[in-house]
Amino acid sequence: MQNPQVALDRWWERGRFCELGAGNIGLDNIAVMRALADVGYDGWVFVEQDTHLQDPLNDLEISRQYLRDAGF
């Protein structure tokens, strides 16, 4: 079993919460959105911003613009 302290010391190697399109886990957010649209989903999609490297409203605006640029 991995030492929990080692895991905390290397947090940057794991995914972190950030604005859409800036993550490091390889999730294609636009592909997810397109898949939802393809199956006819018409409900809400929430973008949650848990931690911030800058003003949270800046992160949220970046995320919103990312979705707009992709046509959502």
DSSP string, 37-70: HHTT--S-------S-SS-HHHHHHHHHHHHHHT
How many domains are contained in the chain? 1
Contacts of 21 (CB under 8 A, 6+ apart): 29, 62, 63, 66
pLDDT of residue 68: 96
Cβ(51)–Cβ(17) below 8 Å: yes
Q: Which pTM does this prediction carry?
A: 0.69
pLDDT digits (tens, 9 = 90+) for 2-56: 555 556 666 666 666 778 888 777 889 999 999 999 999 999 988 877 766 778 8
Host domain of residue 56 = 4-69
